[in-house]
Amino acid sequence: MPPKSESLQAATATSHSDHSSGSIDPIVHLIQILPYSFLRPPRLRLKLPTLTLPSPMTVYALVLLTYFMVVSGFVYDVIVEPPGIGSTQDHVTGSVRPVVFLPGRVNGQYIIEGLSSGFMFVLGGVGIVLMDLALDRNRAKSVKVSYATAGISSVVLAYVMSMLFIRIKIPGYLH
């Protein structure tokens, strides 16, 4: 607890700081008070904007689009600016053939390579969502079977194609 002399000084300091301007000049006081004695702020009837939440399907589509952009290497494509598709010359005929996958380089890609790999990853994710929808008890059995078939086939196709892409990219992988 502070001594009594300090508490008296603190009380005196707070009473002096209660004035609105902190100045004893009457002109400053008039400048602060006079304009507001006859000026009144207008009463505005502004409506606040109402923000509605997006539907769950919109959120799902945005998340899926973001996932596609991340796994397809969109940031890499913007920064490095690789070509859309590559080309190689055939040793026998001398003709130029298009190449979709950049062989031998794990940390490099063509734009089409990234987009096709990203599409396969998204296809696998959608397949998992379809398999989850097939477990809903409130759906008809034919719809559940359709969801399960589409989901399983999407996951299998995405896995097989991704493994094919890896084998094209790295020729001796998993042999």
Residue 68 structure tokens:
């596609």
Both tokens of residue 119? 């599409």
**Secondary structure letter of residue 3 according to DSSP:** -
CA distance 108 to 95: 25
What is the pTM (predicted TM-score) of this model?
A: 0.68
Burial track 126-139 (b if 16+ CB lie within 10 A, e otherwise): bbeebbebbeeeee
Cβ-contact 111, 79 below 8 angstroms:
no
Rounded Cα gap, residues 147 and 128, in angstroms = 10
Structure tokens at 40: 């009144």
Tell me the one-letter amino acid at 138: N
- Give residue 46's identity as a one-letter amino acid code: L
- pLDDT in single tens digits along all 175 residues of the chain: 555 655 555 555 554 444 455 678 888 888 888 777 777 778 888 888 899 999 999 999 999 999 999 999 999 999 999 999 999 998 889 899 999 998 888 889 999 999 999 999 999 999 999 999 999 999 999 999 999 999 999 999 999 999 999 988 988 877 7
Write out the DSSP string of 18-53: TSSSS---HHHHHHHHTHHHH-------PPPPPPPP
Q: Tokens 């009380």 sit at which residue?
A: 11
